Structure 1
Amino acid sequence: MSNRQGASENQAILRRWRDAVPNDRLAHLVRDAARGLTRMMQISLARHNVSFGHWVFLRILWEREGLTQRELSEEAGLMEPTTFSALTAMEKFGYIERRKLPHSRKNVYVFLTPEGRALKEKLVPIAEHINLVAVRGVTGAEVATARKVLLAIIENMAREESETTQQDD
C-alpha cells in the first residue's frame, strides 16, 4: 500500500468514526488506532530495512538478551514457528546470533550483534516520534487516563480468558 493509499484509508476511518458510527464498540476503535500506529511504524522502519516483525524482537532483546526462542515467543505473544522464521531472517541480516551455552547444551539462546544493538539508536527515536505524533493535541492527563483505561481492559480480558479456560477444564 502506498503512503497516499494509507492516508486515504485513514481519512475514511476518521469519517466512519466521527460520522457513521461515533458510538461503535471500543474494541473497533482500539483496533483502528493500533492499525494506524503500526502502519506509521512499518513505513518508518522500512526506511531502515527493518520489518515490523523484527522490531518486536529487537525491542525485547534490547532490554534482555540471552533468551531462548520459546522465551522470545512468549514475550512477543507469538507462536514459535513465527519466531523461528523472524529470527532466521534477523540472523541473515546480521542483527542477532544464536548460541548454545555451556550450562545448557539443549537450548539455543539469542543475542544481539553489534549491528542489532546499534539499531536501537536509530529506531527508538522513530518510535518515540510516532508516539508524540499520536498524542498531539492530547493533554498529559488524558494520556494518563487512556493508559489507565487500556491497562484495565488488558487486565479484564486476561482475567476473563483465565476464567473461561478454567471453566473449560
Structure 2
Amino acid sequence: MATLDTTPGTDTGHADFLRLDHQICFSLHAATRAFNGVYRAALKELGLTYPQYLVMLVLWEHDELPVKRIGEHLRLDSGTLSPLLKRLEAAGYVERRRSPEDERSVTARPTEAGTALREKALGVPKRIAAATGLDLAEISALRTQLNALAARLDAADPEALGGLG
C-alpha cells in the first residue's frame, strides 16, 4: 500500500493536498451524511432515529447491559447516550433500572415492545445494502477496512499530530 510522505518540509510534488476533494475525512463525512439520509428513510416506519437504532441493535444483541457498556459498544459518552435511552424509554422500547448492587450503575434492556420491534427491523440491513449498490463481499471488505482505519486512528499518537511544522 502506498503512503504519502507528510514529513514537514518534504516536497512531495503535490501542491493540492489541501483540496477538499482530496481529504479522506471529507469523503467519510459525505458518506456518513448519505448513510444517515438512507437510514432516516429506512427507519421512519420504525419510529427510530439512526442513533436510537444503534442503541436497539446493541440491546437486541446483548439483552440487558449497563449503560456504560452500551456506551462502550457505540463509542458514545453518557451525556449523549442518556437522552437516547430516555427517548427510547418514553417510546416504550427500553426499560432502565438502577442496579441493586450499585446504585450508581444503571442498566437498560429492551421491553416486550422493544423486542417486538426487532422483527420489524429485520428488513433494514437489506434495504441499506441495496442502497449502497455493493454486494455482500464488497460491504464486508469495506467494513473491515473502516474498522482497521478506526483502530489505527485510535492508536495514533496525538502528540505526533500536533503542530504545523
Q: TM-score range by the shorter chain?
A: 0.7 to 0.9
Higher relative contact order (CA 8 A, sep 6+): 2
Shift of 1:145: 4.0
> Helix, strand or coil: the match of 1:104?
coil
Give the counterpart letter for 2:25 in structure 1.
Answer: A
Equivalent residue for 2:72, pick from 65, 71, 74? 74
- 5+ long unaligned stretches in structure 1: 1-20
Residue pair 2:42, 2:127 contacting (<8 A) in 1 also: no
Equivalent residue for 1:64, pick from 57, 62, 65? 62
When Rg is computed on C-alpha atoms for both structures, the one with the higher figure is: 2
- Structure 1 distance, partners of 2:160, 2:66, is 28
Tell me: CA distance 1:100–1:131, structure 2 relative to 1, closer, same or farther (3 Å). same
- Structure 1 distance, partners of 2:48, 2:95, is 16
Tell me: CA distance 1:54–1:144, structure 2 relative to 1, closer, same or farther (3 Å). closer
Give the counterpart letter for 2:48 in structure 1.
Answer: V
- Structure 2 distance, partners of 1:103, 1:141, is 45
Higher relative helix content:
1
- Structure 1 distance, partners of 2:55, 2:69, is 11
Shift of 1:45: 1.1
- Structure 2 distance, partners of 1:73, 1:30, is 22
> 1:152 aligns to what?
148
After TM superposition, which residue ranges in structure 1, 4 or more long, deviate above 3 angstroms?
Answer: 101-106, 138-145, 165-168
- 5+ long unaligned stretches in structure 2: 1-18
Give the counterpart letter for 1:149 in structure 2.
Answer: Q
TM value normalised by structure 2: 0.73
- 1:127 and 2:121 equivalent? no
Superposition CA RMSD, Å: 2.7
